[in-house]
Amino acid sequence: MTLDPVDWAATRETGHRMVDDMLSWQESIRTRAPWQPVPSATKLRLDEPVPYEGMPLDALYDTFVQDILPYPTGNVHPRFWGWVMGSGTPTGMLAEMLAAGMNSHVAGYDQAASVIEKQVLAWLKKLMGYPETASGLLVSGGTAANLNGLLAARVARAGWDVREEGLQGGPPLTVYGSSSASARNAACARRCTSTSHIVGSAGSIWATECPTIPPSPRTGTAASAPATYIVCYSSRQSRGAPWPGW
């Protein structure tokens, strides 16, 4: 068994077509509406049984062009103003192709991808004013970043060894965030703590009958929270403060 294409020349031809088509699609993006709904007929075509057998790459690509490419979220369009997703770039698209082609497993090893990751983290530390001894990692997006940030905050500020004693080794943890913090923070906090409260955050989760915690470094005002807490300020208001911050 092999994962190689049956016909390398045909695969190369279809690959060239994909690159050309996608660059043309991005170049002409302003001639189309930012978004359009997926028609019922298209949904019916995509609602097919499990494909136990493969199909030729060019035929599969034809399906993509007909039933998938015309119906994106819309965030690649310059008039997509309603949400927070980035637009991407033609260079980014090509970089994704290179990354997928290498398919690097960056859990370590002496390889170029790990060297690049460490270099990017060094640049970020420099730009954000972090010490050279700080560590970090690149993740898939904002939700994964929030989750990892809260996990790091839990280890640093819980007051007991969470790794050894578990979440029951101390009092319930509370995340203290601004009212503009994303509701995803609440979802991440639920995965980090057993009985989480998000104080002042989006997501309508509030803590009551709690002692006072120190004032916010941004506003100078105090809020109510349990004695053990993690502070999470929204970067949309603090402008440059780490988010999550602790």
- At residue 16, the 3 state secondary structure works out as helix
- Distance from C-alpha of 102 to C-alpha of 113, rounded to nearest angstrom: 9
Number of continuous H segments (helices) and E segments (strands) in the chain: 9, 3
Quote the crossing angle between the two packed helices 8-27 and 57-67, to the nearest 10°: 20
Kindly list the strands in the beta sheet with 229-232, ordered across the sheet, starting from the edge strand earlier in the chain. 197-199, 174-177, 229-232
Q: How far is CA 129 from the centre of its chain?
A: 23
* Cβ neighbours around 176 below 10 Å, total: 25
State if pTM tops 0.85. no
H helices of 28-76, where? 40-46, 57-67
What ranges make up the beta strands (E) of 85-207?
174-177, 197-199
- Distance from C-alpha of 69 to C-alpha of 169, rounded to nearest angstrom: 51
Residue 208's pLDDT is 30
Task: Print pLDDT tens along the chain (246 aa).
Answer: 899 999 999 999 999 999 999 999 999 999 999 999 999 999 999 999 999 998 999 999 999 999 999 999 999 999 998 777 888 899 999 999 999 999 999 888 899 999 999 999 999 999 999 999 998 989 988 889 988 988 888 888 888 898 898 888 888 777 777 777 777 777 787 777 654 455 554 433 333 333 334 444 444 444 444 444 455 443 333 333 333 333
